């Protein structure tokens, strides 16, 4: 199913089991925060891990997903799932023009262009009236799912977020293991060769970019509903940096790496919060240790040692 | 002229003032094996880059099967049936040999934008891919990662991948460079076998390969055509002897 091989299928079953027991052991809002970060990192990993393009502006799509989901929820009172999906539509709608501009370059230039474009989105969000500027969009209702499931109940909200996460996770896996994914990998491996076989590589990169930004928007939309708020932090470059860190920490181009990375980063943020600025310092230190000691990231390293495909 | 498959008219390429290819007018006969030889830096690879549109010529025109392809994109040229290989071995290292060849076969589906479908729909190309691998002596390597193959086998894989597109015309950039004697023989035999129905333009340094394989030879030095003809004519050309054969066979 979904192109999972044996190791990955076992890993996925384990992940589903964890999704089921987690809210009974941990604070559900914490797990939801983790799942939103994990989906965001998985979406980012689609670009860096499978197309080989480092986007330094993914917060733009995550943040726009937050704003649009929050705004539609608050002003149109639509269904919660529809609001989350609106976040995805926003991510894709923004990803299409920005991706079109960015994919013409590669390597460090791609990273710089995505960063510059994301900064423009940030300043747009500072100025645009609908985002609420410095205040953001606050007191966003969670509303109902399918009109009758009240999501103010944390457990109900949790199952929705878990389902959205799992769907996104499996979709990414399917993308990577589709005929399209094969071409993506060939572009990552040797773009001139892919071109010489007759593939218009720009088209493939753009579609991958839009899929990635769409899922980043979905992750943002889910986060806005969980916390009932969308703010400038969500579109800030530090959020872009964090998703890079999360993915590197977990393991670039691995299936479970972004999820494990998100678990580490979100846990650190939550449990170290009382130490104030030390969170950032600790994160920096953990990141440096990771890059120096195990370059493949946590999951990449485990997979290499145990000869598994995770 | 109907029997000319590829023609260039005063094709020129400058790199910030330096003229790498200088008014080259080539004419490749349909069905022939045409060699492009010349010392290092003569502009052979640049010619290939121009013909396949990886580089845009500064001046001049390129015609393929009578059609002006000067303004096309590289992927379009490939789809017209003019397919190149690279001087530096070009495989997809982290994909298996089978997947490498299958990526070329997959082109027959048209664009592969279907990200929602399982890659198992590509399994129908496995048999053909295996046959192509067997053809180049890589029947054992289907499941091996291309990056792990020895150099000679990588080159063979590259040719198998190129052949999978069933191109009317192949541009091979030094297909035997860096190979041991046995691998060279294998590649030469392979080129002979695939030649029916195709035209081949190849850059080749090994003159015994050129002598045995090629119908016509164009000698390039400093971006210009120095001489053209069959092996006997070209190798008797005094300037060629001094400019190329002289140094290579001294
Ligand atoms: N992209 C480039 N930019 C600048 N100079 C180039 C470029 N590509 C090739 N050249 C120059 O053009 C000349 C011809 O190179 P090339 O076509 O690779 O020669 P050959 O394949 O015959 O050995 C060389 O002097 C090389 O340095
Ligand atoms: Mg060369």
Contact B13, B220 (CB under 8 A): no
Residue A206 tokens, joined? 């753009």
B184-201 pLDDT, tens digit each: 888 888 889 888 889 999
Q: Is B117 within 8 Å of chain A by CB? A: yes
Reduce the DSSP state of residue A54 to 3 states and report it. Answer: coil
Distance B43 CA to ligand 1 centre (A): 6
pLDDT surpassing 70 at residue A4? no
pLDDT per residue over A14-33, tens digit each?
A: 888 888 888 888 888 899 99
Percent of chain A with pLDDT over 70: 98
Evaluate if residue A303 carries a pLDDT over 90: no
DSSP letters, B40-54, are TTSSHHHHHHHHTTS
Average pLDDT over every residue of B88-99: 90
CB pairs under 8 A between A and B: 102
pLDDT tens per residue across span B33-56: 999 998 888 899 999 999 999 999
User: Would an 8 Å CB–CB cutoff place B109 in contact with chain A?
Assistant: yes
Q: Give A93 or A147, the one with higher predicted confidence.
A: A93
pLDDT digits (tens, 9 = 90+) for B101-127: 999 999 877 778 888 888 888 888 999
| Mean predicted confidence (pLDDT) in A225-245 | 88
Q: Does the complex come out with an ipTM higher than 0.90?
A: no
pTM: 0.88
Structure confidence at residue B244 (pLDDT): 62
Distance CA(A177)–CA(A275), nearest Å, equals 43
> What is the reported pLDDT for A2?
57
B15 close to ligand 1 (CB < 6 Angstrom): yes
Q: What is the mean pLDDT of residues A56-85?
A: 90
On whether residue B86 sits in a domain, the answer given is no
What DSSP element (H or E) covers A80?
helix A80-102
Residue A73 scores a pLDDT above 90: no
Contacting residues of A for B165, CB less than 8 Å apart: 197-198
Look at residue B130 and tell me if it is in a domain. yes
> Can you give the pLDDT at residue B1?
47
Cα–Cα distance for residue pair A30/A17, rounded to 1 Å: 17
Pairwise pLDDT comparison (A115 vs A147), residue with the higher score: A115
What separation in angstroms does the CA of A212 have from each of A50, A216, B57, B77? 11, 6, 36, 30
SS3 assignment, position A73: helix
Distance from C-alpha of B187 to C-alpha of A271, rounded to nearest angstrom: 63
Where residue B205 sits, what CATH number does that domain have? Answer: 3.40.50.300
Write the CB contacts of B205 (distance below 8 Å, at least 6 apart in sequence): B37, B174, B177, B248
Cα B52 to ligand 1 centre (Å):
15
Q: Please check whether residues B44 and B32 belong to one and the same domain.
A: yes
Residue of B nearest to A3 (CA): B118
Sort A166 into a burial class: Cβ within 10 Å, 0-12 / 13-18 / 19+.
middle
Alpha helices (H) along B10-168: 44-51, 74-80, 97-105, 126-135, 151-164
DSSP secondary-structure letter at A230?
B
How far is ligand 2, taken at its centre, from the CA of residue B174, in Å? 8
Residue with tokens 């053809």: B135
pLDDT at B246 over 70: no
- Residue B55, ligand 1, Cβ within 6 A: no
Judge whether residue B250 has pLDDT over 50.
no
Q: With an 8 Å Cβ cutoff, are B52 and A177 in contact?
A: no
Q: Give the pLDDT score at B228.
A: 86
Cβ B95–A174 below 8 Å, yes or no?
no
pLDDT at B218: 93
Say whether both B116 and B51 belong to one domain. no
Averaged pLDDT of chain B: 88
| Residue boundaries of the structural domains of chain A | 6-14+31-306
Q: Do B111 and A190 touch (CB under 8 A)?
A: no
Of the candidates A193, A180, A209, the residue with the CA atom closest to the CA atom of residue A105: A209
> Domain tally for chain B?
2
Atom of ligand 1 nearest to the CA of B44: 22
Answer whether residue B232 is part of any domain. yes
Q: Copy the structure tokens of residue B141.
A: 């390597």
pLDDT on residue B2: 60
Is B87 within the bounds of a domain? Answer: no
> Ligand 1 pocket, B45 CB below 6 A?
yes
* Cα–Cα distance measured from residue A90 to residue A109, given in angstroms and rounded to the nearest whole number: 25
Q: If you search the block for the tokens 């499978």, which residue do you land on? A: A50
The better pLDDT of the pair B247, B169 is held by: B169
Give the domain-ending residue among B143, B165, B187. Answer: B165
Nearest to B113 among A3, A192, A207 (CB): A207
A3 — pLDDT class (breaks 50, 70, 90): low
Q: Please give the residue that has the higher pLDDT: either A131 or A234.
A: A234
Q: Look at the domain A6-14+31-306 and name its fold.
A: ABC transporter involved in vitamin B12 uptake, BtuC (1.10.3470)
- Interatomic CA distance for residues A239 and A232, integer angstroms: 10
Q: Are residues B66 and B189 in the same domain?
A: yes
Under the banding of pLDDT at 50, 70 and 90, the label for residue B182 is confident
CB contact under 8 A, B91 and A193: yes
Chain centroid to CA B131? 21
- Please tell me whether residues B37 and B47 are part of one structural domain: yes
Q: What does the pLDDT read at residue B112? A: 83
Which of B18, B41, B225 for mutating ligand 1's site (highest number of atoms within 8 Å of CB)?
Answer: B41
Q: Which ligand is nearest to the CA of B43?
A: 1
> What range does the domain containing B156 cover?
92-165
Nearest CB to B113: which of A177, A180, A197?
Answer: A180
Residues 6+ apart with CB under 8 A from B47: B11, B21, B24, B26, B36, B220
């Amino acid at each position: 199913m979904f192109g999972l091989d044996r190791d990955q299928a076992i890993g996925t079953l384990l992940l589903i089991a964890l999704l089921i027991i987690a809210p009974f052991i941990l604070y559900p809002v914490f797990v939801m925060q983790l799942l939103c970060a994990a989906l965001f990192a998985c979406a980012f990993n689609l670009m860096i891990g499978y197309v080989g393009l480092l986007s330094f502006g993914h917060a733009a799509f995550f943040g726009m997903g937050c704003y649009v989901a929050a705004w539609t929820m608050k002003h149109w009172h639509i269904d919660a799932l529809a609001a989350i999906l609106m976040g995805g539509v926003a991510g894709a709608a923004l990803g299409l023009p920005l991706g079109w501009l960015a994919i013409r370059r590669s390597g460090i230039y791609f990273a710089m262009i995505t960063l510059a474009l994301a900064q423009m989105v940030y300043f747009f969000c500072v100025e645009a009236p609908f985002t609420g500027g410095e205040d953001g969009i606050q007191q966003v209702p969670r509303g109902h799912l399918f009109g009758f499931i009240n999501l103010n109940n944390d457990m109900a909200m949790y199952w929705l977020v878990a389902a959205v996460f799992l769907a996104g996770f499996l979709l990414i896996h399917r993308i990577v293991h589709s005929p399209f994914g094969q071409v993506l990998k060939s572009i990552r491996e040797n773009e001139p060769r892919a071109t010489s076989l007759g593939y218009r590589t720009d088209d493939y990169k753009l579609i991958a970019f839009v899929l990635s930004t769409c899922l980043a928007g979905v992750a943002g939309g889910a986060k806005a509903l969980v916390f009932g708020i969308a703010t400038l932090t969500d579109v800030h470059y530090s959020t872009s940096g964090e998703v890079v860190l999360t993915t590197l920490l977990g393991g670039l181009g691995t299936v479970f790496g972004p999820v494990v990375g998100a678990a580490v980063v979100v846990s650190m943020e939550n449990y170290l919060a009382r130490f104030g600025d030390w969170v950032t310092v600790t994160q920096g230190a953990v990141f440096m240790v990771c890059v120096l000691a195990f370059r493949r990231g946590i999951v990449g390293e485990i997979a290499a040692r145990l000869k598994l495909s995770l | 002229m109907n029997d000319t498959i590829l023609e260039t008219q005063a094709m020129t390429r400058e790199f910030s003032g330096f003229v790498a290819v200088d008014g080259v007018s080539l004419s490749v006969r349909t069905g022939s094996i045409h060699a492009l030889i010349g010392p290092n830096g003569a502009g052979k690879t640049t010619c290939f880059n121009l013909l396949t549109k990886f580089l845009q010529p500064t001046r001049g025109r390129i015609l393929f099967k009578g059609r002006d392809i000067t303004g096309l994109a590289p992927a379009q040229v490939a789809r017209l049936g003019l397919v190149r290989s690279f001087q530096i071995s070009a495989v997809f290292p982290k994909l298996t040999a089978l997947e490498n060849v299958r990526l070329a076969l997959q082109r027959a589906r048209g664009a592969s934008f279907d990200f929602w479908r399982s890659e198992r729909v590509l399994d129908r190309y496995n048999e053909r891919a295996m046959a192509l691998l067997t053809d180049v002596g890589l029947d054992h390597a289907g499941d091996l990662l291309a990056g792990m193959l020895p150099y000679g086998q990588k080159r063979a894989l590259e040719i198998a991948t190129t052949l999978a597109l069933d191109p009317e015309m192949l541009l091979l950039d030094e297909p035997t460079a860096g190979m041991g004697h046995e691998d060279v023989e294998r590649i030469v035999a392979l080129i002979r076998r695939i030649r029916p129905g195709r035209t081949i333009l190849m850059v080749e340094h090994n003159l015994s390969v050129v002598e045995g394989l090629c119908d016509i030879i164009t000698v390039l030095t400093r971006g210009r055509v120095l001489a053209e003809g069959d092996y006997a004519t070209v190798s008797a050309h005094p300037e060629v002897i001094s400019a190329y054969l002289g140094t290579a066979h001294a």
